[in-house]
Amino acid sequence: MKNNVLVVVDMQVGVFAVPRYDKQGKAALINQLIDAADAVIFIQHAEGEMCVDGDLWQIIPELHQPAHAHYVTKTACDAFWHTTLDDLLQRLGTRAFTVCGCATDYCVDTTIKVGASKGYAITVVADAHTTADRTYASAQQLIGQHNEVWAGLSLPGNPVTVMPTPAILSAWGVPQ
C-alpha cells in the first residue's frame, strides 16, 4: 500500500506554451513533493498537437521524474474519464491522493471534483498548482478562488483538504 500518492496533472511542455503563473516556483514545490512521495502519477493530456510521444506531450524538464513514476494519458479535463487512473490507484492500494499541477481552473479542478465524488480522499497542494491569466480573472485570483472552493466543497463524509506544501511534507513525516 502506498500512503503518500502524488498526482501531478498536465505539467507538460505544450501546456506551458501558454504562459502560466510562476512556473519555476510551482515546479520547485512539486519537486519537493515528488521527492517525498511514496508513488508519483503523472497525468498527461494528449490532444491535437500534444499527441502521445510528441515533444509537446513531454513532462516539463524542470520536474523530477523518478524511475518508479507512473504515467496516465487522458484526452479530457477529467483525469479519470476513460483512463487507467482508477485502476492504477486501486493497484497501489490507496483511496487517497495528493494533487498538484496545471491548469487550476480546468484539469486540476475537474480531476479533484470527480475524484472526490468517486470517494477518494483528496488533498490539494494549495501552493503547487497553476494556470494562465483569463479574460476576467488573473491566474493568482483563480488559484486563490479554487483553493477556497475546494476547501468548502460539500461532500458529506469526504471533504477535500487544501494545504500548502510545507504542511503536506510535515504530514508525510518529512523533516522541515
Cα separation of 98 and 119, whole Å?
14
What's the grid cell of residue 26?
510551482
Query: Which of these CATH numbers, 3.40.50.720, 2.40.50.100, 3.30.70.100, 3.40.50.850, describes 5-171?
Result: 3.40.50.850
User: What pLDDT score was predicted for residue 50?
Assistant: 61
User: pLDDT tens digits, the chain, 176 residues: what are they?
Assistant: 568 999 999 999 999 999 999 999 999 999 999 999 999 999 999 877 666 667 888 999 999 999 999 999 999 999 999 999 999 999 999 999 999 999 999 999 999 999 999 999 999 999 999 999 999 999 999 999 999 999 999 888 888 999 999 999 999 999 87
Nearest to 167 by CA among 55, 58, 32: 32
Cα separation of 5 and 37, whole Å?
6
Which residue has cell 495528493? Answer: 98
The domain limits of the chain are 5-171
